[in-house]
């Protein structure tokens, strides 16, 4: 059975799994000093069109928290929207690891605007207040929306002109690149993002998250932050091999294209029902829809998905790299059943 | 080429790798709520002869730090020997994650004694001092030595009678169980250990570390500590599958027996050279030996291993689950070459 | 010149200062083990109508942060309004000291409601989220408003029935007690507050803040939290002596009555001007008023006060224990001048 | 009764107390933006012979911990002797506030040597290890000994040439300056100390500790660290006024001269007894002596002092700014009584 709970209920793309087997030769240097890791990092530099520093870690939370902590002293703060993963889905990991505060602003569509941040800067220099130092945005956002390239660029310029950094949580970055018909270089490097949490796990990898540093002036101390963050894996080559396989176009891109396409297909099928309302015009693999309570209960008997807001009847459906039209048709059949019986 | 740097330069046992492939079916629940994870945890309860709580994590540092932090308020301290992994090899992760202090005592053989701990208890109740709350021992120790079952039991009783917990860093626990010709139940459960960092990575797993809680009264909050510790892997089944395969006797036990046997063989071969002195009488897969500077330099050209103390000429050689007599004979040939030429 | 910036621009009540001189005899036990400290703590128990544990500290931030941290494990969170002192005026001290998160809700009048908290509890038990553990309210609030006794009681009951604690930031607690014509016992003990930050500095003390524990089941470890929080003063008797003098009715009560009365007088005088609008119907020593930009600039030349919102023209005026009608009349004269000239 | 427990059992020098009364005029700017604070800081610059940044705090622990934290990222460590106040008397405050580690070396006389630090630097650059970044020494040490000016200078040069800072815990700095017949400038500025915890409380102040930054390149962010460290006192002028009075020679110097002289007198009197042995040749106000158990018990009935090591019979006697020969003669009489009766 396929699920729609999240894109991490899927397994692993066969090429990724195969690559892991292929580095299971004899012995190799531990802790990321091996040749496979070196190659994988070079592949990142190629994709982003500049020499980037890359640190592989085991979870998206680790990529976000360690990445951000390297930019923050404990009296400094990250600014994000309320719904940001770092704010509501990481059990306070940033606060505990770095001692820093997250200043979050109320938000409806998951996108932070410059106007949201401006008023927060009135405290700069005042010792009574945590000092805003990093702006963190998610691309794709947690609410399935996307920043345009111009919006990212403007946010980066705003951050830099105010002595701040721009961090991007890219847990679903491939879906964004595909949806915007752009490249990693154009969307991340050229817009001026300083640091990126690059996510592969949700798009067909097994354990594949990376901290990507694009700003050369950023702390050269990330190897220490990663180790202190308990994320220095000894047999690193098995992570690196995944990335090497994944970063080929026919994996990351094909996977994201499929889940995005399935997102569109789900959207279209849902729009057949007049009692179901879509939250917005989504372009990636996450669909947010409002349904009546009875229907949600009916569907939960057979399908996995999140109920985001019970009162409002808002649910989230996430397509995976291996989701098929049949999977979606089955789900739609469940809706039809409900209305027929009813 | 095989290395002797550490037992994490090796790859993964074929049965472990195969098990990972076998859970790469369709979709499954994420974050450890899947059936494979449930089975793997049950397997732990079986091995330890009681219902244990088990939390899988990606690194040994994470197992130690998260495991210990669940027992500690920030004003409380862990007591260990100076050479403990938590003290010198984890980049201050415990201090940063928990805010707690490590009180370490000078030590020569890696084993903490009750007499080491007693004087530290004079500060109990005095608010000027971090309060000793957990005793942490490593089995096998970082210096290749072993606690007897009686020593562990006495330490546990001493800890409990002083309101403290006993933590065991078991990064190389299987080597200890095999060397002592005992079982996990006898060595850990029956001696009264409260919490164990169970290590599989160094003995043939790919990513295999677990926090094992043996004391039912211990904080029921470990799921939160693990998530805040950035260690809740989404596609958990790929870790759990490794453990299921690994915990079969023909994997963990055979692997440890081989590396221990190769340790003994290395020891015997080294003893053929009168200019080489062993640090102690080692029984597991780690050998510490004193050699002259020229010989060390000669060997480093062809073999990987750690020089523990350059002045004293102390090196560490670690055998892996796949180390063979040939690998060791090659190393010994290197020594012979040196003395012949010299 | 008197200022209206805050009630900490004032000096010290003469009886408080005198009491400090009187304990400057010879030698006494350090770190709070002296007789004066014992007496001062007994005085608190008397005022609150039950045996309370009391820990003196040097700043209000310390009272809040150490008080809250004793109730929180790092994966647990405090819930407050956005404008809470702990959230916006303490430079992230709570996050860094405890590792915990502050979940703040948008708010207009400084008062947290049960309806604000309820939706936050949907995450209880979910390891992805910081777990709400303490509700923190300020009495008087940072926006000069007050909770009724019933509101406090209901909040305490709500907290307790959900496994949470109720913390009160009482930086201006005496003003609240006087304004509500109640007692410390009725407003704090009888309503079910678990822990209180008792503030004296803003009402005529020199350095006078206390953590008051009203719930006997609360951690007995506060002495360690205070010391680790760098707040164990060696010559404690000079703090305790201040409290002994302050807790006499003719000091704390008279002081608060005067500043409240002056608040009312300021309010009445401001209402004489049709172009000045009060934010609400304030009952303590803080007045929030909207004025035109030119007037604010004119007044800032001669008087100290905070401009809370430059755009909206919102200013804050705080009366002190020694503010007089003349001080206020001077301020009003400044307004008259402005309008006459204009 | 005078005590010998510590130099913080004494009260406050009358000139210090008087200065506090004198700033109890009307209103003044809060949080250290007042004129008295400015003057007090200028006085520090005068004493140290260069423009120094100064941050007043309420406890010696705060001066140490906040001072050090400003120099440390969480993966960096402080190096000290085992007996350092930061290591054993501050309840793990440094670890919790900064997340950093204290690497302490065994020690007998309280003085750290360059030879102690050298071997710790072998881990520089290795991500598995906390990176030594600050060397912390105490002057006077916790064991009553002193560094010579040359020793301090050499330590500073060693620190700087290895990319580290030198911190001095000066809880009893005035006693050291007097004992060495030197000046603050010669002992601290000219030797190259980067940051100093300046203590006044133990030498006649009420609440008088300061972080003194002597190295201009040091983080300009100390105001944020102090606030986040819960140490920004609102009515700061009452601390600053103490310092202004204290930094006159007839207070800090006379006070330290008296306690040092009384130390010498105590030493001389103790040497009259052949059964009493001094630990070393002390030159300040702390005397460590070995006595038989019965005598210690006898003296504890009438006098306050610390028993450092019960087994060895080691006690500590500390003289205060107001200790007199009579106080010491009384103590000596207690010894005479014991031996007479015995």
- Nearest chain B Cα distance for residue A20, angstroms: 9
Give the 3-state secondary structure of residue C219.
coil
Average pLDDT over residues A333-337: 96
Q: How far apart are CA B188 and CA B139, in angstroms?
A: 10
Least confident range of A209-213, A246-250, B9-13, D83-87: A246-250
For an interface test with D, which of C230, C231, C303, C317 has the most D Cβ atoms less than 10 Å from its Cβ?
C230
For an interface test with C, which of D230, D245, D323 has the most C Cβ atoms less than 10 Å from its Cβ?
D230
Taking only Cα atoms into account, the Rg of chain C, rounded to an integer number of angstroms, comes to 20
Q: Write down the pLDDT at residue A178.
A: 98
Query: Which of C95, C101, C128 has the CB atom closest to A89's CB atom?
Result: C128
Contacts of D128 in chain B (CB under 8 A): 88-91
Contacts of C55 in chain D (CB under 8 A): none
Q: Which residues pair with A103 in a beta bridge?
A: A79
B220 falls in which pLDDT band (50, 70, 90)? confident
Establish, for the pair of chains B and D, how many residue pairs have beta carbons separated by less than 8 Å.
Answer: 55
pLDDT at B279 over 80: yes
Pairing of strands B195-199, B165-170: parallel
Contact state of C232 with B127 under an 8 Å Cβ cutoff: yes
Q: Which two tokens stand for residue A3?
A: 């699920």
Closest chain B residue by Cα to residue A27: B10
Query: Which of D89, D92, D127 has the CB atom closest to B75's CB atom?
Result: D92
pLDDT at C342 over 80: no
B25 falls in which pLDDT band (50, 70, 90)? confident
- C-beta separation of C19 from C200 below 8 A: no
Q: How far apart are CA C59 and CA C40, in angstroms?
A: 18
- Helices (DSSP H) in B83-236: which residue ranges? 85-88, 93-98, 114-117, 149-161, 173-179, 184, 222-228
Query: Which of A91, A95, A127 has the CB atom closest to C91's CB atom?
Result: A127
pLDDT at B294 over 90: yes
pLDDT at A100 over 80: yes
pLDDT at D157 over 90: yes
- Whole-number average pLDDT of chain D: 96
For an interface test with A, which of B200, B234, B316, B331 has the most A Cβ atoms less than 10 Å from its Cβ?
B234
Q: Write down the pLDDT at residue B125.
A: 97
Contact state of A131 with D227 under an 8 Å Cβ cutoff: no
Query: Which of D99, D131, D224 has the CB atom closest to A127's CB atom?
Result: D224
Q: Write down the pLDDT at residue B2.
A: 82
Contact state of C75 with B99 under an 8 Å Cβ cutoff: no
- For the entire predicted model, the pTM comes to 0.97
Q: Write down the pLDDT at residue D219.
A: 83
Q: Write down the pLDDT at residue C250.
A: 87
pLDDT at A1 over 80: no
Q: Write down the pLDDT at residue C29.
A: 94
Average pLDDT over residues B164-184: 98
Q: Which chains touch B (3 or more CB pairs under 8 A)?
A: A, C, D
Give the 3-state secondary structure of residue B196.
strand
Axis-axis angle for helices A325-341, A249-270 (nearest 10): 20
Establish, for the pair of chains B and C, how many residue pairs have beta carbons separated by less than 8 Å.
Answer: 39
Query: Which of C1, C30, C228 has the CB atom closest to D96's CB atom?
Result: C228
Contact state of C235 with D206 under an 8 Å Cβ cutoff: yes
Q: Write down the pLDDT at residue B285.
A: 97
Q: What is the DSSP string of A296-317?
A: HHHHHTT---EEEETTTTEEEE
Q: Write down the pLDDT at residue C1.
A: 73
C220 falls in which pLDDT band (50, 70, 90)? confident
Percent of chain D with pLDDT over 70: 100
Contact state of A75 with D227 under an 8 Å Cβ cutoff: yes
Contacts of D95 in chain B (CB under 8 A): 74, 95, 99-101
- C-beta separation of A15 from A21 below 8 A: no
Q: How far apart are CA C80 and CA C64, in angstroms?
A: 12
- Chain A positions with Cβ closer than 8 Å to D: 31, 73-75, 98-99, 127-128, 131, 221, 223-228, 232
- Nearest chain A Cα distance for residue B66, angstroms: 9
Contacts of D75 in chain A (CB under 8 A): 221, 224-225, 227-228
Establish, for the pair of chains A and C, how many residue pairs have beta carbons separated by less than 8 Å.
Answer: 55
Instruction: For residue A209, give Cα distances in angstroms to A59, A200, A212.
Output: 6, 6, 10
Q: Write down the pLDDT at residue C26.
A: 85
A234 falls in which pLDDT band (50, 70, 90)? very high
Average pLDDT over residues B153-181: 98
C-alpha C262: how far from chain center: 18
Which residues have a Cβ under 8 Å from the Cβ of C262 and sit 6 or more positions away? C285, C319, C320, C323, C324, C325, C327, C328
Q: Write down the pLDDT at residue C243.
A: 98
Q: Which two tokens stand for residue A13?
A: 């793309």
Contact state of A227 with D73 under an 8 Å Cβ cutoff: no
Give the 3-state secondary structure of residue D169.
strand
Percent of chain D with pLDDT over 90: 94
pLDDT, one tens digit per residue, over B82-114 is 999 999 999 999 999 999 999 999 988 999 999
Looking up tokens 């608060």, which residue turns up?
A: C256
In B194-219, which positions are buried (b, 16+ CB within 10 angstroms) versus exposed (e)?
bbbbbbbbbbbbbbbbbbbbbbeebb
Query: Which of D74, D88, D92 has the CB atom closest to B100's CB atom?
Result: D92
Q: Which residue has the higher pLDDT, A291 or D341?
A: A291
Average pLDDT over residues C2-11: 94
Q: Which chains touch D (3 or more CB pairs under 8 A)?
A: A, B, C
Contact state of C90 with D58 under an 8 Å Cβ cutoff: no
CB count within 10 Å of CB B122 equals: 11
Average pLDDT over residues A243-249: 95
Q: Write down the pLDDT at residue A299.
A: 96
Contacts of B225 in chain C (CB under 8 A): 75
State the first-to-last Cα distance of chain A, in angstroms, to the nearest integer. 26
Closest chain D residue by Cα to residue B307: D122
Contact state of B235 with A207 under an 8 Å Cβ cutoff: yes
Contact state of A228 with D75 under an 8 Å Cβ cutoff: yes
Give the DSSP letter of residue D130: P
Query: Which of C75, C77, C92 has the CB atom closest to A100's CB atom?
Result: C92
C282 falls in which pLDDT band (50, 70, 90)? confident
- Whole-number average pLDDT of chain A: 96
Q: Write down the pLDDT at residue C2.
A: 83
- Nearest chain B Cα distance for residue D325, angstroms: 31
Query: Which of B98, B99, B227 has the CB atom closest to C127's CB atom?
Result: B227
Q: How far apart are CA C203 and CA C173, in angstroms?
A: 9
Q: How far apart are CA C262 and CA C331, in angstroms?
A: 12
For an interface test with C, which of A68, A96, A107, A229 has the most C Cβ atoms less than 10 Å from its Cβ?
A96
pLDDT at A342 over 80: no
For an interface test with C, which of D234, D316, D321, D327 has the most C Cβ atoms less than 10 Å from its Cβ?
D234
pLDDT, one tens digit per residue, over B34-50 is 999 999 999 999 999 99
B257 falls in which pLDDT band (50, 70, 90)? very high
B75 falls in which pLDDT band (50, 70, 90)? very high
Pairing of strands A277-278, A209-213: unpaired
Q: Which two tokens stand for residue C327?
A: 């001080």
pLDDT, one tens digit per residue, over C140-179 is 999 999 999 999 999 999 999 999 999 999 999 999 999 9
pLDDT, one tens digit per residue, over D228-257 is 999 999 999 999 999 999 999 889 999 999
C51 falls in which pLDDT band (50, 70, 90)? very high
Q: Write down the pLDDT at residue D2.
A: 83
Which residues have a Cβ under 8 Å from the Cβ of D157 and sit 6 or more positions away? D192
Task: For residue B40, report the phi and psi dihedrals to the nearest 5 degrees.
Answer: -65, -40
In A40-78, which positions are buried (b, 16+ CB within 10 angstroms) versus exposed (e)?
bbebbeebbeeebbbbbbbbbbbbbbbbbbbbbbbbbbb
- Nearest chain A Cα distance for residue B33, angstroms: 11
Contact state of C130 with A75 under an 8 Å Cβ cutoff: no
Q: How far apart are CA D93 and CA C227, in angstroms?
A: 8
Q: How far apart are CA D189 and CA D214, in angstroms?
A: 7
Contact state of C221 with B75 under an 8 Å Cβ cutoff: yes
Q: Write down the pLDDT at residue B52.
A: 97
Q: How far apart are CA C71 and CA C218, in angstroms?
A: 7
Q: Which residue has the higher pLDDT, A297 or B1?
A: A297
Query: Which of B8, B29, B93 has the CB atom closest to A230's CB atom?
Result: B93
Q: Write down the pLDDT at residue C288.
A: 97
pLDDT, one tens digit per residue, over A48-82 is 999 999 999 999 999 999 999 999 999 999 999 99
- Nearest chain C Cα distance for residue A93, angstroms: 8
pLDDT at C204 over 90: yes
Q: Which two tokens stand for residue D189?
A: 């500025």
């Amino acid at each position: 059975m396929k699920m729609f709970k999240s894109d991490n209920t899927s397994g692993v793309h066969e090429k990724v799994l195969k690559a892991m087997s292929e580095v299971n030769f004899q012995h190799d240097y531990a802790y990321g000093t091996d040749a496979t890791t070196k190659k994988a990092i070079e592949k990142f530099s190629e994709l982003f069109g500049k020499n980037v520093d890359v640190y592989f870690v085991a979870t998206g939370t680790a990529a976000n928290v360690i990445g951000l902590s390297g930019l923050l002293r404990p009296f400094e703060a990250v600014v994000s929207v309320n719904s940001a993963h770092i704010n509501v889905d990481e059990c306070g990991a940033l606060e505990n690891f770095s001692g820093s505060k997250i200043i979050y602003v109320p938000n409806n569509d998951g996108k932070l605007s410059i106007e949201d941040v401006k008023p927060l800067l009135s405290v700069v220099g005042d010792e009574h207040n945590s000092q805003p130092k990093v702006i963190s945005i998610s691309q794709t956002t947690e609410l399935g929306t996307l920043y345009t390239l111009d919006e990212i660029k403007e946010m980066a310029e705003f951050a830099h002109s105010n002595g701040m950094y721009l961090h991007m949580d890219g847990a679903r970055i491939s879906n964004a690149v595909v949806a915007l018909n752009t490249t990693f270089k154009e969307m991340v490097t050229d817009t001026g993002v300083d640091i990126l949490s690059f996510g592969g796990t949700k798009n067909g990898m097994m354990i594949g998250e990376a901290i990507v540093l694009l700003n050369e002036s950023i702390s050269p101390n990330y190897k220490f932050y990663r180790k202190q963050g308990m994320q220095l894996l000894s047999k690193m080559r098995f992570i690196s091999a995944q990335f090497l396989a994944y970063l080929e176009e026919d994996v990351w891109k094909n996977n994201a294209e499929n889940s995005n396409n399935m997102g569109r297909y789900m959207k279209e099928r849902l729009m057949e029902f007049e009692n179901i309302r879509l939250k917005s015009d989504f372009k990636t693999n996450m669909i947010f829809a409002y349904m009546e309570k009875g229907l949600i209960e009916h569907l939960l008997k057979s399908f996995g998905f999140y109920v985001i807001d019970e009162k409002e009847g808002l649910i989230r459906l996430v397509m995976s790299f291996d989701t098929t039209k049949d999977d979606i048709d089955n789900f739609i059949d469940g809706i039809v059943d409900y209305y027929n019986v009813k």
